[in-house]
Amino acid sequence: MQFMYGKIRSRPIVDKNTPNLKMLDANIPWQRNYKYLGVTLDKNLHFRDHIERVRNTALFYKVRLGAMLGRKSKLCRRNKRTIYKMCIRTVMAYASPVFTHAAPKAVHRLQVIQNKFCRAVTDAHWFVRNSILHRDLELPTFSKYMKDASKLFFDIAGSHPNALLRAAVDYQPPHPTHLIRRPRNVLTDPPDALTAAVESLNDVNDMHDCLGVGLSEGREPTRDGFLRHPMPRRLPPGVVHSACHAPSALACAVRPHSVKLSKSSNLSSDPSRPTK
């Protein structure tokens, strides 16, 4: 197999008059893309066909699991996130170190699926930012997840006892502005806008944790992970929602399905409220 890179279109490697290969008296036609070990390879290694295929597969699984991951599902958010990470994200991120360096527009189509999942799980309104949803669900963006997986892959391959494998990953990536991109380029790429926004929100949360914000009000960390500063069991009178140090839109993003909070409501008389 031979790959040729260049700005101008080169002559085809296989001549037009080349006879077709045969196996058991059956012609083997030439293909523009081929699926090998679960990865669809195209002639230019753009991986657009592979991303489109895994995107359609992830959407199929998302529709099949819609009863458990939908807005009206009574399943807790922690279990919804676990189902997404095990059944949907694994399909999209299979062999991610191979195609992580693809065009950002193509990879963003996979991020859209994760954005829709976060919005459906939290039952958030349209004005809640995706960065807030990722922060509250403690879910990294898809590009950040693939970048971490690529870094782990190169670290393992670089320390492998096989010399051929070490030599295959020991190279200098091309310049960021170069036409050719290789898998190592993703390690030096700057984060996208959504990843930068989520990281900035996480830094604010970490600073609040260091300062002990919220601990004086009797709030304790939750094993569920949602949220870092969870709601107290008894809300003070006149307070609608004070779950986290975030914009007020978050109160609508994390509202429970069975309880409608209002200024005049009393949670002590609500039968759906968990008791000790």
CA dist., res. 227 & res. 137, Å (int): 8
Which of 105 and 243 is assigned the larger pLDDT?
105
Q: Does residue 209 surpass a pLDDT of 90? A: no
Which of 147 and 32 is assigned the larger pLDDT?
147
Burial code (b: 16+ CB inside 10 Å, e: under 16) for 224-255 equals: eebbbbbbeeebeeeeeebbbbbeeebbebbb
Q: Does residue 257 surpass a pLDDT of 50? A: no
Hey, is 38 helix, strand or coil? coil
DSSP designation for 33: E
Which pLDDT score, from 0 to 100, does residue 108 have? 94
Q: Mark out the alpha helices in the chain (DSSP H runs).
A: 48-64, 66-69, 77-83, 89-92, 96-99, 104-122, 130-137, 142-158, 163-169, 185-188, 193-211, 249-253
Which of 52 and 257 is assigned the larger pLDDT?
52
For 7, half-sphere exposure in the C-beta direction (CA atoms, 13 angstrom radius) is 2
Confidence category of residue 110, pLDDT binned at 50, 70, 90 = very high
Hey, is 42 helix, strand or coil? strand
How deeply is 89 buried, as exposed, middle or buried, from its count of CB atoms within 10 A (0-12, 13-18, 19+)? buried
Indicate left, alpha or beta for 212 from its phi (over 0: left) and psi (-120 to 50: alpha).
left
Burial code (b: 16+ CB inside 10 Å, e: under 16) for 50-80 equals: bbebbbeebeebbeebeeebeeebeeebeeb
Crossing angle (nearest 10°) for helices 48-64 and 104-122: 10
Q: How many CB atoms lie within 10 A of CB 46?
A: 16
Confidence category of residue 212, pLDDT binned at 50, 70, 90 = low
> Whole-model pTM?
0.69
Q: Does residue 249 surpass a pLDDT of 70? A: no
Residue 243 phi, psi dihedral angles, 5° rounding: -75, -35
Which pLDDT score, from 0 to 100, does residue 252 have? 40
Take residue 74 and report the two structure tokens written for it. 């009574």
Which of 133 and 270 is assigned the larger pLDDT?
133
Give residue-wise pLDDT tens across range 41-52.
Answer: 988 888 999 999
Q: Does residue 71 surpass a pLDDT of 80? A: yes
The average pLDDT across 38-66 equals 92
What does pLDDT average to over the chain? 76
Confidence category of residue 193, pLDDT binned at 50, 70, 90 = very high
Give residue-wise pLDDT tens across range 215-225.
Answer: 444 443 333 44
CB-CB contact of 88 with 117 (8 Å) = yes
Which pLDDT score, from 0 to 100, does residue 241 have? 40
The average pLDDT across 182-196 equals 90
Which of 198 and 238 is assigned the larger pLDDT?
198
